[in-house]
Every structure is written in structure tokens, then in C-alpha cells.
Amino acid sequence: MHFVSDIFKQLNVLESVHIIYCYSLDENFSLQINKLTKPFILKSLFTDGLMSIQSMELVLQKSGSYLENFGCKFGFERYSELIIKYCKNLKFLEFNGYESQIITYRIFNIIENIIRQNLNYLSIDIRTDDYDNIKGSSTILQNLGQALPSKLEYLSLTLSIKRSEFRIFLQNSQNTFINKLLIRQIGWDDILSYTKEFIMNEKRVKYLAIRSINNGDLYDSEDIVKEFKLHNVEVRNFYYLSISDETNRSVNSNLIDYLQG
């Protein structure tokens, strides 16, 4: 216990602290933070979602006002009220989950509250489950576009996308300029035609990355890449642009670069 306490005292002299998928976080972590007499300037917290609500509240009570980057692999909705209550300065928000676990009204409650403030990077990753349920993906595509601000630096969506619902999203987000847009299609519908109609022709995106089950990475299609470039849209490899994707259980180096930048 004294050893852990000494570590926190050393952390406390740092200008800021970034915690990225530290799987050893437990109840003792939150208790030690709460005992600190000085501010604990936690700028980034990326978690697996296993921390109890009580422990997370202790952390956010102490450091939520400093937190700029928050990501959660699973159980994001459990922390939704705490995020809205304590985290007023988020710039980067990432959440992951399975279709059967997603409680979409809580997600939008968070997005709408944070977007009104500072949010500039948003990553949503919803994976299919054993029930072939895509309700979460559908609800996000139908409602996210109108919730976005006029400008985003980065938007990454990993969803089961129906063409008709993708069109709704693109229509509803016509007033938003996105510097980097990443789409990972884990459904089977082809979304390229609507991408050309709403993104290429309207010049709403500077850098684009699309990866799908059917067609692989759009960056590998040279003719299409050239076609987009004629409209001043640069197509990039999905993993090259991604700052929120974790592969092989190692943290993406792009995320580290972003946090250092």
C-alpha cells in the first residue's frame, strides 16, 4: 500500500497524466487518487470499462474537470451520467460496445451535452453480436448527423450500415465539415455510391478512409482514389488515419502521437 501511495505522489508532480488501457486499475486506484491533497491532472483516461461506478465517480470527482480524452471499451453507458456531470472539457470521446449492450439514448445524451462544449474527436465502434441485432447502428446513423457541430477534426464510425440509413446520416450531417472521416462497414451493403454523392461532390471531407467486409480498404482501389482526388478529397488507408483503433491488443501509435501533440 505504501509503495502504491509513493507512486501516486510521484505522478502528482507531473504536468499531466495519461492513462491508456491500464488493465490493472482497481478500487485501490480510485482511493489513492481521492487521498491526494493536490489536484491530480488526469488529461486522458482510456479504460476497459470494468471499473465500478463508485470507483469511476471517485476518479472523476477528483480529475473530471481536467479530463480531455476519454475512451471506454465496454460498459460506456454505465458511466454516462458521471461523464455529463463531471467532464466539461472533453475533446476526444471514444466508445465501443456490442449491439445488444448499446443504450442509444444515453449515448446521444452524452454526445449532445459534450458537443455543445469542446468535442472535436469522436469515435463510435459498435460490433455485431450473436443475435444479428443492428438496432444500435441504425439508431446512431439516423440520429447522429443532426447532433454534430459545424466542424469536426475527426469522426470514426464502425457500424453495421444499411445503405438507406447511411444516406440519412449523410443528409443530416450536410452542414458539418469533417477533416478526417473514417468509416468501417461491418455490414454487407455497398455504401460507395452515397459516399460519392454526398462527400465527393459536396466537398465536406478533407481526408477519407473506408474499410468494408465486401471490398476491403478503399485506398487499394486506385481509380476511385484518383476520382476522389479530382474533387480535393484525399483517400487514405483506414489504419493509417485511425487514432482510436486498437489492434493486436497494442495501443495504436497514432493515439500516442495525438496525445503528445
Q: Examine the domain organization and report whether 226 and 187 are in the same domain.
A: yes
Residues 159-195 as b/e (b if ≥16 CB within 10 A, e otherwise) read bbbbeebbbbbbebbeebbbebbbbbbbbebebbebb
What are the grid coordinates assigned to 84, written together?
Answer: 455529463
Residue that the C-alpha cell 481536467 belongs to: 66
Domain span including residue 30:
1-118
Q: Examine the domain organization and report whether 214 and 196 are in the same domain.
A: yes
Query: Which of 57, 87, 118 is where one domain is finished?
Result: 118
Q: Examine the domain organization and report whether 114 and 128 are in the same domain.
A: no
Q: Examine the domain organization and report whether 128 and 92 are in the same domain.
A: no
What are the grid coordinates assigned to 161, written together?
Answer: 450500415
The domain that holds 190 is classified in CATH as 3.40.50
Residue 2: the pLDDT is 42
Q: Examine the domain organization and report whether 96 and 124 are in the same domain.
A: no
Residue 152: the pLDDT is 94
Q: Examine the domain organization and report whether 109 and 159 are in the same domain.
A: no
CB-neighbour burial class of residue 14 (10 A; exposed 0-12, middle 13-18, buried 19+): exposed
Q: Examine the domain organization and report whether 87 and 150 are in the same domain.
A: no
Q: Examine the domain organization and report whether 98 and 191 are in the same domain.
A: no
Q: Examine the domain organization and report whether 91 and 141 are in the same domain.
A: no
Q: Kindly report the backbone phi and psi dihedral angles of residue 109, in degrees, each rounded to the nearest multiple of 5, phi listed first.
A: -60, -40
CA distance 129 to 98: 6
| Intra-chain end-to-end CA distance of the chain, in Å | 34
Residue that the C-alpha cell 482501389 belongs to: 221
CA distance 31 to 28: 5
Q: Examine the domain organization and report whether 106 and 9 are in the same domain.
A: yes
pTM of the entire predicted model: 0.90
* pLDDT tens, per residue, the chain with 261 residues: 444 556 666 666 667 888 888 766 777 878 888 887 788 899 999 988 778 899 999 999 999 999 999 998 877 778 888 998 999 899 999 988 776 555 666 777 777 777 667 889 999 988 776 656 567 788 889 999 998 988 999 999 999 999 999 999 999 999 999 999 999 999 999 999 999 999 988 889 999 999 998 899 999 999 999 999 999 999 999 999 999 755 544 567 888 888 887
Q: Examine the domain organization and report whether 124 and 112 are in the same domain.
A: no
According to DSSP H, which parts of 15-147 are helical? 27-35, 53-63, 80-86, 104-115, 135-143
Residue 248: the pLDDT is 42
Residue 1: the pLDDT is 40
Query: Which of 87, 118, 149 is where one domain is finished?
Result: 118
